[in-house]
Amino acid sequence: MELTFDHAIELLEITDISRLSVDDIPQLEKKSKKRWHPDKVAHLKSAEITQEYTKKFQQIETACKMVLSYLNGTYQAGEAFTETSKASHKEPEEVIRENAPNIQATLRELWNLIKEKKYKWTTENVILSDGFKLKDLLREDFKEDIAMLSVVSFFYGFIILGILIAIGSAINPIIGTFIGIFWILQALSCACGLLPLSRFWLPETIQNIMIWFINFGLKIYNWAEYESRTASWWVQLLVAIPNLFALAIKYIVLFPLYEIAKLIVDDKTVGIVKSSVNYYGGAAEWYIDDLILKNPDEMTSDELFHLSYLYSEFSDIKSKI
């Protein structure tokens, strides 16, 4: 399915595009690629989820280019973000195409006057993107198992760092204090990972710190899990206990909380993009700007007939004002 502006806004999780600048795009792309990287869900071993993440990951660059073009004014929401194919030749169309340069020159000459006098002008608030529901974000958040991974990370970080604190304190109290601070940061990061939609509302810097500390604990778990493969069954069970505990936390504690949160947010939608659009002669201002500058050879049939219509609407402005 072709990526639309609405889908691009949702994919990049833009809540207020009016506050977005061109300089924000690289960070937005980086954050989104981190969010939708297929490796994040590889542990779920679900082909369907992995395929979904892969598809969205591949769409991120196009989505960023679309939003960048929108911010630069070279793309308008609702347009296809691809070159339209050249229309088939018809006699009326060909006549307009041949005369299009002269029509465009006349309209360019009148355009400032039309806007200045607000000739055949109306304005309308239009929704450029319907946004996305918080309920859907909560559903995705729960499915990703971020909370479950945070519990596992905390368990292994607690054990290893607790041992290191004891050893460090025995060597030098200052060393023990430094390790203790590290332990507190790891515990707080795991606690943030338990919070619904923490990746959405936490500042990016804090998110990066949170993810780093959670991954620290998970690396210890991955090492323990790998080393236990050849060990006795009770060792394997011991290593797996945090996973079982995390699974219980997910469905006994977090599942009801997420369901309550979904009831609270109900159908609340964020990321809605609205804009006040000026219309002249029934055509949007941005569309007229495009028509009077576009190469006639690249125009579609509809664009050519619209150009001809606008000429008939505006060519008499000097006699009417």
Q: What is the pLDDT of residues 100-117, one digit of tens each?
A: 898 899 899 999 999 998
Which residues sit opposite 279 in a β-bridge? 122, 284
Strands (E), 130-272: 132-133, 269-270
For the whole model, what pTM was predicted? 0.47
**Per-residue pLDDT, 42:** 67
Mean pLDDT of the 3-13 span: 86
* Same-domain pairing of 115 and 228: no
- Whether 179 and 254 map to the same domain: the answer is yes
Q: Distance between CA atoms of 231 and 222, rounded to whole angstroms?
A: 15
Count: domains in the chain: 3
Closest CA to 61 of 81, 85, 86, 83: 81
Query: Do residue 120 and residue 242 come from a single domain?
Result: no
Residues 178 and 147 in one domain: yes
**Same-domain check for residues 212 and 200:** yes
Whether residues 229 and 292 share a domain: the answer is no
Average pLDDT over residues 14-30: 83
Q: Which of 129, 147, 138, 143 is nearest to 265 (CA)?
A: 138
- Residues 161 and 261 reside in one and the same domain: yes
Q: Is residue 93 within 8 Å of 304, Cβ to Cβ?
A: yes
Instruction: Based on the fold, state whether residues 153 and 262 are members of the same structural domain.
Output: yes
Domain that holds residue 303: 91-130+272-320
